[in-house]
A and B are shown apart, each in its own frame.
Chain A
Amino acid sequence: MPKKPLTRLALAAVCATGMLATLPAHAGKTLDAIKARGQLVCGVNEGLAGFSAADSQGKWAGLDVDVCKAIAAAILGDANKVKWVPLNAQQRFTALQSGEIDILSRNTTWTLTRDASLGLNFTGVTYYDGQGFMVPAKLNLKSAKQLKGATVCVQSGTTTEKNLTDFSRANNLNVKPVVFEKQEASTGAYFSGRCVAFTTDASGLASIRNKEAKNPAEHVILPDLISKEPLGPAVRRGDDEFFAIAKWVQFALIEAEDYGVTQANVDTMMKSDNPAVGRILGSTEDTGKLLGLDKNWAANAIKAVGNYGEMFERNVGPKSPLGLPRGLNNLWSNGGLMYAPPVR
């Protein structure tokens, strides 16, 4: 069917506009975008001491924060080139899906539903956690199974609600959840005595007890852990290059601890005879090229935040205010679960 040239042109223009508007950014461009703007945009918790919290000068610190700092150092060579976007539990996935942030590092539990249906990829586990309960010490409770008929304060938008329900059903406890939108509201209600118990990840309980309780000794964290909560960062699906970078920066931090590379000795270790160390630090082999990064990507990351063990000790470990034991988060060689594939 012959068409007037003008009509055809108009048709083509309409189609092209439609294509432009409907196609999302081309996959694999996250790295270019980060380099172009000279900044990594990182979604973090609004305030969870030990994991991500801003101090009075607005400087962010914590385990989740260090992950982003390490990635920024690996890509841009400067751990301070990060824009922090504090997110609540409900905003976090939308922020990542819509491209508002490059990476979500916000004590997020890796589950099947989230991995498979939200359009994101978890890059690994930075903290192996489990859900626990905090109760007033004066109740003299020994186990979470004694919470029959108790009201339990929960923050909405977490995996916590479902775990609580499963635990309650399995043990026939009939607990009554009181669900709040904001964490401050739920902990506030617990500390005023509205709920018998407060539940969230055990690391979060330690952080809240330490930071928000008037007298931390008046509250105990029950020994029961009712779920597996592997916490880790996530990136948008569809950009395998950036996915690999985020994943391997974490692995490099664990490898560094494995081989004894620390924040302090990274420069001297450059001259190490151990070929594995040479590969990690880029002094012998250029592993960065394969990832689209500089030769000393991992060295920069370790210089910025130290190896995984140092990150843990500084932010949440036994000597920090949270005082969490290393436990499952120890290296595999020390009986923990932290194991990284070889940087090779």
Chain B
Amino acid sequence: MTAPASPPTKRDWSWRSRHVRGLLYQLIALGLIGLAVWFLAHNTLQNMRVRGIQSGFDFLSSPAGFDIGERMVPYESNDPYWMAFLIGILNTLRVALVGIVLTTILGTLLGIGRFSHNALVRGLCYAYVELFRNVPILLQLLMWYLVLIDGLPSPGQQVSVFGVFYLSNGGLSYPVPVWGLGQGLAAAGALVGVVLAWLWARRARLHFEQTGQPRPVLLPAVGLVIGCALGGWLAGGAPTAWSIPAPGGFSMEGGSSLTPEFIAVLLGLTLYTASYVAEVVRAGIASVPRGQAEAASALGLSKGQQMRLVSLPQALRVIIPPMTNQFLNLTKNSSLAVAIGYPDVVSISNTAINQTGRAVECISIIMLVYLTTSLCTSVLMNWYNKRSAIKER
């Protein structure tokens, strides 16, 4: 296709030209918006000054002075406020990332389940979606939290599984390996294994495209990853030290643990968002014409292969854009975690606002954090969308 020959353009800078008027309107609109923003900001600052309310971001470097119950990096109460905010942001990202992965898996399975030939599976998936997407997320979070703290035994009478996992309303404690050279090498080995597995999968695909002979992919890939990790572990002296949790005092000692707050937020967000993802996936699959599946069937592909090789790749193009929305929703809904005591960025900001009185500053930090994570997710998903879009050759 060739571009239509454009008529010779000569910029007409007179008032009557549509081009100039359009530009003018846009400038006026932009100016008005700018003025409104300036007016609001100026007014706020002026009023705060007159009323003797101190403002500014300088508080970020002064000591926070409060503890945070759940943290992924070391933090002391005399660390500065920005460290406290960082802990909050990491807690938000932690629940959002794990939530997105689990939601995608669960939602995809549920969406595919809606096409099952088994009426029970189909019905269950349908019931799930209708149940979970029609109850407000805040209620679901509160419900899971109540179930966890009221339904589970108190830390004195925790349920023990094999004597290494402990479950109580203080959380889930589990053993972790004591980090050493062996574990480091094992992790490095696993990484090498992933790269090798990827190379193997690429070769297998090229081989298939050239000869039409399929090569096994899944088993060798898993084998490569496990083998390399095992090799690294052996090379590091095969350490077997584990830190196993044991009941002590008021809480579990040793091992690592998930708090009921984290579990409740994760469970609530995942189960809720998965119902939407299931609908997105179902719509995507339904958008692939029947003829595609019939053609695949005529070529002798099995049911699973039809789904995996023919229907899903085409459905992906329809699925990805609304999926981005769901990921963004999950991340933003995580701000409701404050209701059940999970120390996310909103919870930390609430405390900071109360201690410093810098409400405007703290709220803008929250907004900036959610805006940044949302934009990053969008950029990533747009890139993936472009990749899986129809390639016009």
In the complex, what distance in Å separates the CA atom of A97 from the CA atom of B353?
Answer: 14
Which residues in B have their C-beta under 8 angstroms from that of A326? Answer: none
The answer to whether residues A24 and B47 also contact, given A156-B354, A168-B67, A194-B170 and a CB cut-off of 8 A, is: yes
Q: How far does the Cβ of B45 sit from chain A's closest Cβ, in whole Å?
A: 10
Docked pose: A251 CA to B81 CA in angstroms? 39
A299 nearest CB across to chain B (Å): 34
Could you tell me the distance between the alpha carbons of A156 and B51 in the complex, rounded to whole angstroms?
25
Smallest Cβ distance from A19 to chain B, in angstroms?
Answer: 10
A22 and B65 form a contact (CB under 8 A): no
1/0 contact trace for A146-180 toward B, CB 8 Å? 01111101001111011011101100000111111
| Partner pick for A193 among B149, B355, B359, CB 8 A cutoff | B149
A272 lies within 8 A of chain B by Cβ: no
Query: By the criterion CB–CB under 8 Å, are B67 and A118 in contact?
Result: no
Q: Does chain A have a CB within 8 A of B340?
A: yes
* Structural contact, A178 and B69, CB atoms closer than 8 A: yes
Contact call A119/B251, Cβ cutoff below 8 A: no
Residues of B within 8 A of A165 (CB): 65-67, 77
Residue of A nearest to B351 (CB): A156
B341 touching A186, Cβ below 8 Å: yes
**A186 contact set on B, CB distance < 8 A:** 341
Contact A21 B347 (CB under 8 A): no
> Is the CB–CB distance between A22 and B249 below 8 Å?
no
Q: Closest approach, in angstroms, between the C-beta of A247 and any C-beta of chain B?
A: 18
- Give the number of chain B interface residues (Cβ < 8 Å): 46
Q: Would you call A192 and B149 a contact (CB within 8 A)?
A: yes
Q: Which residues of B contact A150 (CB under 8 A)?
A: 249-251
Q: How many chain-A residues does the 8 Å CB contact rule pick out?
A: 50
Whether A114 contacts B52 in the complex (CB less than 8 A), given A168-B67, A177-B69, comes out as: no
Within the complex, what minimum Cβ distance (angstroms) separates A158 from chain B? 7
Task: State how many angstroms separate the Cβ of A215 from the closest Cβ of chain B.
Answer: 16
B156 to chain A, nearest CB (A): 9
Contact B69 A179 (CB under 8 A): yes
How many A-B pairs have beta carbons closer than 8 Å: the answer is 130
A190 to B226, CA, bound (A): 44
Q: Contact between A22 and B46 (Cβ–Cβ < 8 Å)?
A: yes
Scan B337-356; emit 1 where CB is below 8 A from any A CB, else 0.
01111010001001101111
With known contacts A89-B354, A117-B357, A194-B260, A180–B250 Cβ distance under 8 A: no
B residues in contact with A161, CB < 8 Å = 66-67, 351, 355
Query: Is B51 in contact with A24, judged by CB distance below 8 angstroms?
Result: yes
A94 within 8 A of B: yes
Closest to B49 in A: A119
Q: Complex formed: what's the CA distance from A161 to B353 in Å?
A: 13
Docked Cα-Cα span, A159 to B351, in Å, equals: 9
Closest to B153 in A: A193
Q: How many Å from the CB of A181 to the closest CB on chain B?
A: 5
Find the A residue at minimum CB distance from B45: A22
CA distance A251 to B47 in the complex (A): 31
Tell me if A238 is interfacial: C-beta within 8 Å of chain B: yes
- Verify A151–B350 contact, CB threshold 8 A: no
- Which secondary structure dominates chain A's binding surface? mixed
Kindly list chain A residues whose C-beta atoms are within 8 Å of the C-beta of B150: 192
CB of B104 closer than 8 Å to a CB of A: no
Q: Establish whether residues B154 and A179, one from each chain, have CB atoms under 8 Å apart when the complex forms.
A: no
Say yes or no: A237 contacts B51, CB within 8 Å: yes
Name B168's closest neighbour in chain A (CB-CB): A193
| Centre residue among A162, A175, A179 by max chain B CB count within 10 A | A179
Query: Chain A contacts of B260 at CB under 8 A?
Result: 194
Contacting residues, chain B, for A97 (C-beta < 8 A)? 51, 53
Which of B42, B154, B250, B355 has the most chain A CB atoms closer than 10 A to its own CB?
B250
Interface residue B54 (Cβ < 8 Å from any Cβ of A)? yes
Write the nearest CB–CB distance from A33 to chain B, whole angstroms: 16
Q: In the assembly, what is the distance between CA of A186 and CA of B261, in Å?
A: 12
Given A161-B351, A165-B67, A168-B67: A149 in contact with B357 (beta carbons within 8 A)? no
A118 touches B250 (CB 8 A): no
Shortest Cβ distance from residue B38 to the other chain A in the assembled complex, whole angstroms: 11
- Write out the residue numbers on chain B whose beta carbons fall within 8 Å of the beta carbon of A117: 53-54, 356-357
Question: B26 on the interface (CB 8 Å rule)?
Answer: no
> Can you add 20 more A-B contacts, CB < 8 Å, to A162-B66, A192-B149, A194-B170?
A22-B42, A22-B46, A93-B357, A94-B359, A114-B357, A117-B54, A119-B52, A149-B248, A150-B249, A151-B250, A153-B341, A162-B65, A165-B67, A168-B67, A177-B66, A179-B343, A181-B338, A192-B146, A193-B154, A237-B51
Q: Which 5 A-B pairs have the closest CB atoms?
A: A119-B51, A119-B53, A150-B250, A193-B154, A157-B354
Give 26 A-B contacts (CB < 8 Å), ordered by A residue.
Answer: A22-B43, A117-B54, A148-B250, A149-B250, A150-B249, A150-B251, A156-B338, A159-B355, A161-B66, A161-B355, A162-B66, A162-B355, A168-B67, A168-B77, A176-B251, A177-B67, A178-B69, A178-B341, A179-B69, A179-B341, A180-B341, A181-B339, A185-B341, A193-B154, A194-B149, A238-B52
Q: Which A residues have a C-beta under 8 Å from some C-beta of B?
A: 21-24, 89-90, 93-94, 97, 113-114, 116-119, 147-151, 153, 156-159, 161-162, 164-166, 168-169, 175-182, 185-186, 189, 192-194, 196, 236-238
* Contacts from B to A (Cβ < 8 Å): 39, 42-43, 46-48, 50-54, 65-69, 77-78, 146, 149-150, 154-155, 169-170, 248-251, 259-261, 338-341, 343, 347, 350-351, 353-357, 359
